[in-house]
């Protein structure tokens, strides 16, 4: 290959790569622009502070759904994160060969289970025995969906922690469990938090598993054992309704949902870009 043609190929490939990068970002920008165009007009103070109005009345907001979504996400994180992170730690650190392999395989299978199936699962083991839809059931379903993502990212990141750090800890006469929690996990923390944010962002918009668990609620929440409102549910309900005003509110809800995910991810990034970051 002559230098001339080598340079030509280089230029063409660089442009192709740049084009591909642009095409990847394009859908996100388009979605965001479309949401802004359709929904921005309905986003106002009322939207964040008021309950939905009865059918036929104009105005009102989705305050209960915003609070509901935040509560569901928090609860799901409380249920799912400790188990997920510890299981990831176990998978990365275990000296046994077979059991981690099985556990890892199952996590991958769980990752592929459609979210509506997870919803049915939560319906069967929580809603039916309790005889009512509840925030708890919704959070449980979301936690199950988060689990495999958290497990796999935790595992990968714990694996990235150099063995020399574990050895340094052990050689200081620190018990192994403390080395794992205080040195290894701490070193992997920044990366794990990124993974956790991905998981939270993923479940923030889940609608299907909430349909027959959290169920939705047109009022403020009345306890964790009661049905609770959630943004995706409200968006779904409003989007299929025959009223223009509701359609606008559905768009606004979608915009707020994306904004929420964006803010949470951004905050996590800032929070973990401290001075002493380990692996990410």
Partner 1 sequence: MADGIIVRDLNAWFGSAHVLHGIGVTIAPKAVTAVIGPSGCGKSTFIRCLNRMHEVVPGARVTGSVRAEGMDVYAPGIDPVQVRRKIGMVFQKPNPFPTMSVFDNVVAGLRLGGVRERSVLEEAAERALRQAALWDEVKDQLGKSGVSLSGGQQQRVCIARALAVEPEVLLMDEPCSALDPIATAKIEELILELRSTLTIVVVTHNMQQAARVSESTGFFLLGELVEFGVTRQLFTNPHDKRTEDYITGRFG
Cα–Cα distance between 158 and 156 in angstroms, integer? 6
Question: How far is it, in rounded angstroms, from Cα 14 to Cα 39?
Answer: 37
Q: Is 191 in the site for partner 1 (CB under 8 A)?
A: no
By CB under 8 A, which span of 16-24, 167-175, 191-199, 215-223 interacts with partner 1? 167-175
Among 173, 242, 244, 270, binds partner 1 (CB under 8 A): 173
The answer to whether residue 160 forms part of the interface with partner 1 (CB under 8 A) is no
Say whether residue 85 binds partner 1 (CB under 8 A).
no
Query: Binder to partner 1 among 1, 25, 45, 172 (CB under 8 A)?
Result: 172
Q: Confirm or reject binding of residue 241 to partner 1 (CB under 8 A).
A: no
Give whichever of 152 and 189 is closer to partner 1, judged by the CB atom: 189
- Among 165, 198, 239, 241, the residue binding partner 1 under the rule CB under 8 A is 165
Quick one: which of 119, 142, 189, 195 contacts partner 1 (CB under 8 A)? 189
39 touches partner 1 (CB under 8 A): no
Closer residue to partner 1 in complex, CB, 7/182? 182
Rule CB under 8 A: is residue 177 a binding residue for partner 1? Answer: no
Least distance between partner 1 and beta carbon 105 (Å): 21
154/194 Cα distance (integer angstroms):
10
Residues at the interface with partner 1 (CB under 8 A): 95, 162, 164-175, 178-179, 182-183, 186-187, 189, 275-278
């Amino acid at each position: 290959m002559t230098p001339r043609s080598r340079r030509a190929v280089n230029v063409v490939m660089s442009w192709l790569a740049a084009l591909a990068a642009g095409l990847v970002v394009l859908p996100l920008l388009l979605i965001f622009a479309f949401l802004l165009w359709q929904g921005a007009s309905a986003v106002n103070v009322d939207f964040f502070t008021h309950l939905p109005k009865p059918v036929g009345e104009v105005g009102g907001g989705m305050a209960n759904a915003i609070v509901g979504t935040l509560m569901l996400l928090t609860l799901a994180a409380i249920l799912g994160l400790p188990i997920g992170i510890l299981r990831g730690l176990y998978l990365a650190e275990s000296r046994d060969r077979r059991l981690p392999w099985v556990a890892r395989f199952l996590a991958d299978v769980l990752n592929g289970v459609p979210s509506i199936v997870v919803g049915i699962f939560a319906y069967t083991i929580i809603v039916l025995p309790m005889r009512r839809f509840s925030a708890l059931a919704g959070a449980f379903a979301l936690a199950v969906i988060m689990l495999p993502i958290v497990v796999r990212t935790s595992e990968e990141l714990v694996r990235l922690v150099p063995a020399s750090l574990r050895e340094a800890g052990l050689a200081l006469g620190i018990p192994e469990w403390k080395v794992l929690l205080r040195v290894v996990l701490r070193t992997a923390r920044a990366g794990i938090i990124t993974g956790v944010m991905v998981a939270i962002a993923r479940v923030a918009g889940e609608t299907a598993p909430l349909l027959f668990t959290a169920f939705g609620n047109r009022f403020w929440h009345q306890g964790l054992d009661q049905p609770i409102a959630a943004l995706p549910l409200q968006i779904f309900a409003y989007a299929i309704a025959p009223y223009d005003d509701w359609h606008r509110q559905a768009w606004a809800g979608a915009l707020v949902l994306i904004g929420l995910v964006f803010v949470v991810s951004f905050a996590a990034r800032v929070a973990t870009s401290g001075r002493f970051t380990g692996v990410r």
